[in-house]
Amino acid sequence: MIVAVDGPAAAGKGTLACRLAERLGFAYMDTGLLYRAVGLAVLRRGVSPGNGEAVVEAAHGVHAAALADPMLRSEIVGHIASQVAVIPAVRAILLTCQRSFARYPPEGTGGAVMDGRDVGTVVCPHAECKLFVTANLAVRAKRRVNELRERGMPAIESQVLAKMHERDRRDQERAIALLRPAEDAFILDTSEMNADVALSMALAYVAPKVSSRMSLHARDQGCRSERS
């Protein structure tokens, strides 16, 4: 079973998706980290995000171990990631990785929770559960500033707000995989919610679908046993 959690930066989707995965016993993937890993590779190689050939080469070199690098969460890497994400060849490389994880999550898990910007519309359009987590821009900028400062990184709220506004514009206007909720997504506005309230509301939407899927799976297994 696949749970798709999409939304703009600092809306709370990452925290929510991670907690959902833990509560459901599902595997978790932050798809945005894959693009950030490409962005970080581009930054460290000193190449321009507009150099398509060099960026594609960097994308081929991304591996799971790279997703633990703390630099991935920096503002500069996030800014570069949103630029390389519009390159079709990069998206194709990472799309294969994302879909493979969603279809074949690690053994012992009941499914996958995929967190990103286009999981419900592009990566896994047939996901059984789709959430679009959002919040107003001012709230999201404040959250990002607090997050960066907690990590000991300098952050000026006006600058973070401007960069986030620009990133939203780019994500909503790009030609491929633009940021938008799937038609059948559950919209969760966390502007005035803490993480616990957001989790409670998400579970109220997801849990019945998970239970229904598990019941169908158990019934199918029973029918197969009877036939054998």
What residue ranges define each of the domains in the chain, with the CATH number in brackets?
A: 2-219 (3.40.50.300)
Residue-wise over 196-228: b if at least 16 C-beta within 10 A, else e?
eebbebbbeebeeebeeeeeeeeeeeeeeeeee
Task: Tell me the mean pLDDT in the region 117-141.
Answer: 95
User: Half-sphere exposure of 142 toward its Cβ, with a 13 Å CA cutoff?
Assistant: 7
Question: Does residue 151 contact residue 69 with C-beta atoms inside 8 Å?
Answer: no
What is the band of 216 on the pLDDT scale with cuts at 50, 70, 90?
low
Instruction: Tell me the per-residue pLDDT of 59-86, one tens digit each, with 9 for 90 and over.
Output: 998 877 678 888 998 878 988 998 898 8
This prediction has a pTM of 0.84
Question: Does residue 29 contact residue 153 with C-beta atoms inside 8 Å?
Answer: no
Q: Which residue has the higher pLDDT, 85 or 134?
A: 134
For residues 166, 34, 54, 39, the Cα torsion angle rounded to the nearest 10 degrees is 40
The pairing of beta strand 112-116 with beta strand 27-30: parallel
Question: Does residue 144 contact residue 155 with C-beta atoms inside 8 Å?
Answer: yes
Question: Does residue 130 contact residue 182 with C-beta atoms inside 8 Å?
Answer: yes
CA dist 67 and 34 (Å) reads 7
What is the band of 139 on the pLDDT scale with cuts at 50, 70, 90?
very high
Q: Could you give the angle at the alpha carbon of 134 between the alpha carbons of 130 and 138, nearest 5°?
A: 170
Instruction: Tell me the per-residue pLDDT of 144-196, one tens digit each, with 9 for 90 and over.
Output: 888 888 878 788 888 889 988 988 888 888 777 788 999 999 999 999 999 99
Alpha-carbon 196 to chain mean position: 19
CA dist 96 and 228 (Å) reads 36
CA dist 47 and 83 (Å) reads 13
CA dist 77 and 39 (Å) reads 6
The amino acid occupying position 100 is S
